[in-house]
Chains A and B, each alone.
Chain A
């Protein structure tokens, strides 16, 4: 970790980021939903950080808060070492950080042509005054993600799910960003199409030197695409480290059971895997356990776990884990 820090600068850094929502619980009564609670990490230039967790763990909220789509309740977001705070910084940030969304259907406006959708960031940011040049850029982007440029005048619904996701990627690339938050970009796609899109992400990263925050609940996909992986549970970061470390030597009991629960498409492995899985349900994010958030499902939970959420501690090699287990 020390070496890395010296060689590479973090492109994106979040410090103690918190995002709480006020949920109405009847008249005049609100309850706090701690979607993201005190999360810190950094993403190096050219790196892909995978963010995994189950539904309600706050991974999508984290991605959106990081892009300032939600105003953070507390904490800091740094881009290229500078805090993203004022209006001017935000404007600059929008030109360098974009997003690819989950749903290939709802993420494209059905009343706009593909060319207009891809050009939207350019139009909004006032990139080109010359229409011809803008069109050229759109064609270039369509080419880059493997779309037929002749289809620029078509509407999104004429495309299949995989092609729609490519349109979304082209839009995210329009302003030539350095950093892209990918929010479950392949979850809605069929397996064969999913592989096409994952390869597309890989290729773009190589050619354009992009940095990704790759959010997904699919551990197989995250494992494939990420350099480092962060695991979230109920708004908290429980483990973070290099991808191989996380998968081969998971420390946190939650990470361990998460990896074990993934159905492996291999009959030999499936037959060999007889260990018992995680018991119980994920608590409601409105009703987070005190102390360690995982203790209600943890097979190793002790009395002391109820007292405090353990801090993330370094276990060597840049592998951090928030658990009392050694």
Chain B
């Protein structure tokens, strides 16, 4: 049994303009100590997937169907009280904007200690000790001094470290990182990614890394899931995705990235993402794809197993095998 099992998750937002189908049937497993990368462009549903797992969707958002099992326990529909026990305790999340996630009127120390007090049994002096220990863990020097500072006195990288420290307060089993380095400069991003890798080794937690940056995925992850318009296009090991991409969207994404070594002409994906209010009947990517077949417009392709844990939702894989699929 995996630590986290997500099965056929569907999440929608109900707006004035209609139902925005943000997540359409996402399934994946996450094991202890594993790093799963979810990569996709804006509107691909990568963040909404994470928020659905955490139960922190906006008021007009709802998990329509599907199941999320954490440690064998069903989370969908288990109630707010049960979720609150889990959230920030066994599953923690850090966001892109550390500044808005921190309260500007409270010192950093007060906020870390609050989070320790909420999620652990520690009391009094132990809380303070734990706070200093956490700051040490996220490699913040002069910890005593930092505790007394306010968020605006710290740099972006430092704030993200504080956020990580707070997320780690309760020794979570899963850390969800939602674009944790997107707002940071490259040299600071490199520091934070390095820190997360080290912390994972030390603490053994599983990480779900949500990002649009294939470079970050390549540095951080063991397993990768590529999302497009709320659906999983492809998932597999890091090597599968980067070296043997089997979905046209994954290939397009890789071809769109400029390279640092040599200047080659970029092969962008034509067109734009479909409207989540009016998703096509077939494959969501069909309109932008160069290899679109008749079936792609008619029917969405299910995830087809290509290797050990390499799956792709592209009819081309079926065609290439002459319609044969080894079960």
A contact set with B: CB distance below 8 Å? 54-55, 160, 162-163, 190-196, 198-199, 202, 217, 219-221, 223-224, 243, 247, 257-267, 269-270, 277-279, 281-282
Query: Is A264 a contact of B258 with CB atoms below 8 Å?
Result: no
Q: Whole-angstrom distance from the CB of B182 to the nearest CB of chain A?
A: 11
Q: Whole-angstrom distance from the CB of A285 to the nearest CB of chain B?
A: 12
Instruction: Give Cα A199 to B263, complex, Å.
Output: 12
Q: Whole-angstrom distance from the CB of B298 to the nearest CB of chain A?
A: 24
Query: Is A258 a contact of B187 with CB atoms below 8 Å?
Result: yes
Instruction: Give Cα A184 to B228, complex, Å.
Output: 25
Q: Which chain B residue lies CB-closest to A257?
A: B187
Q: Whole-angstrom distance from the CB of B297 to the nearest CB of chain A?
A: 20
Interface check B239, CB cutoff 8 A: yes
Known: A54-B186, A160-B272. A190 touches B266 (CB 8 A): no
Instruction: Give Cα A162 to B271, complex, Å.
Output: 9
Chain A residues positioned under 8 Å from B213 (CB to CB): 263
Q: Whole-angstrom distance from the CB of A323 to the nearest CB of chain B?
A: 17
Q: Which chain B residue lies CB-closest to A226?
A: B263
Q: Which chain A residue lies CB-closest to B267?
A: A195
Known: A192-B268, A193-B272, A194-B256. A262 touches B186 (CB 8 A): yes
Partner of A267, one of B157, B158, B186, B218: B218
Instruction: Give Cα A130 to B241, complex, Å.
Output: 56
Q: Which chain B residue lies CB-closest to A190?
A: B41
Chain B residues positioned under 8 Å from A54 (CB to CB): 185-188
Can you show 14 pairs from A to B with CB atoms below 8 A apart? A190-B41, A190-B212, A195-B266, A224-B266, A257-B187, A261-B190, A263-B189, A263-B216, A264-B260, A265-B254, A266-B242, A269-B218, A270-B215, A281-B188
Query: Is A281 a contact of B155 with CB atoms below 8 Å?
Result: yes
Chain A residues positioned under 8 Å from B258 (CB to CB): 195, 198, 220-221, 223-224
Chain A residues positioned under 8 Å from B185 (CB to CB): 54-55, 217, 282
Interface check B143, CB cutoff 8 A: no
Most interface-central of B216, B267, B268 (chain A CB within 10 A): B268
Chain A residues positioned under 8 Å from B194 (CB to CB): 277
Instruction: Give Cα A294 to B214, complex, Å.
Output: 29
Instruction: Give Cα A262 to B215, complex, Å.
Output: 8
Instruction: Give Cα A185 to B290, complex, Å.
Output: 26
Interface check B269, CB cutoff 8 A: yes
Number of interface residues of B (CB under 8 A): 44
Instruction: Give Cα A266 to B245, complex, Å.
Output: 12
Instruction: Give Cα A192 to B215, complex, Å.
Output: 14
Q: Whole-angstrom distance from the CB of B104 to the nearest CB of chain A?
A: 18
Query: Is B215 a contact of A263 with CB atoms below 8 Å?
Result: yes
Chain A residues positioned under 8 Å from B158 (CB to CB): 281
Partner of B263, one of A162, A223, A264: A223
Q: Which chain B residue lies CB-closest to A277?
A: B190
Instruction: Give Cα A168 to B46, complex, Å.
Output: 29
Q: Whole-angstrom distance from the CB of B35 to the nearest CB of chain A?
A: 13
Interface check B93, CB cutoff 8 A: no
Q: Which chain A residue lies CB-closest to B256?
A: A195
Known: A247-B260, A261-B187, A278-B187. A199 touches B268 (CB 8 A): yes
Instruction: Give Cα A152 to B201, complex, Å.
Output: 55
Chain B residues positioned under 8 Å from A258 (CB to CB): 186-187
Q: Whole-angstrom distance from the CB of A154 to the nearest CB of chain B?
A: 15
Query: Is B157 a contact of A270 with CB atoms below 8 Å?
Result: no
Chain A residues positioned under 8 Å from B42 (CB to CB): 190
Query: Is A196 a contact of B260 with CB atoms below 8 Å?
Result: no
Interface check B293, CB cutoff 8 A: no
Chain B residues positioned under 8 Å from A224 (CB to CB): 258-259, 263, 266
Instruction: Give Cα A264 to B260, complex, Å.
Output: 8
Query: Is A220 a contact of B239 with CB atoms below 8 Å?
Result: no
Partner of A264, one of B218, B238, B243: B218
Known: A193-B268, A262-B186. A267 touches B239 (CB 8 A): yes
Instruction: Give Cα A163 to B242, complex, Å.
Output: 28
Chain B residues positioned under 8 Å from A265 (CB to CB): 214-215, 217-218, 242, 254, 257
9 residue pairs, one from A and one from B, having the closest CB atoms: A263-B215, A195-B268, A54-B185, A190-B41, A224-B258, A195-B256, A265-B214, A192-B269, A261-B190
Query: Is B242 a contact of A196 with CB atoms below 8 Å?
Result: no
Interface check B114, CB cutoff 8 A: no
Known: A191-B41, A265-B214. A223 touches B187 (CB 8 A): no
Chain B residues positioned under 8 Å from A193 (CB to CB): 41, 268, 272
Query: Is B186 a contact of A192 with CB atoms below 8 Å?
Result: no
Chain B residues positioned under 8 Å from A163 (CB to CB): 272
Instruction: Give Cα A33 to B146, complex, Å.
Output: 26
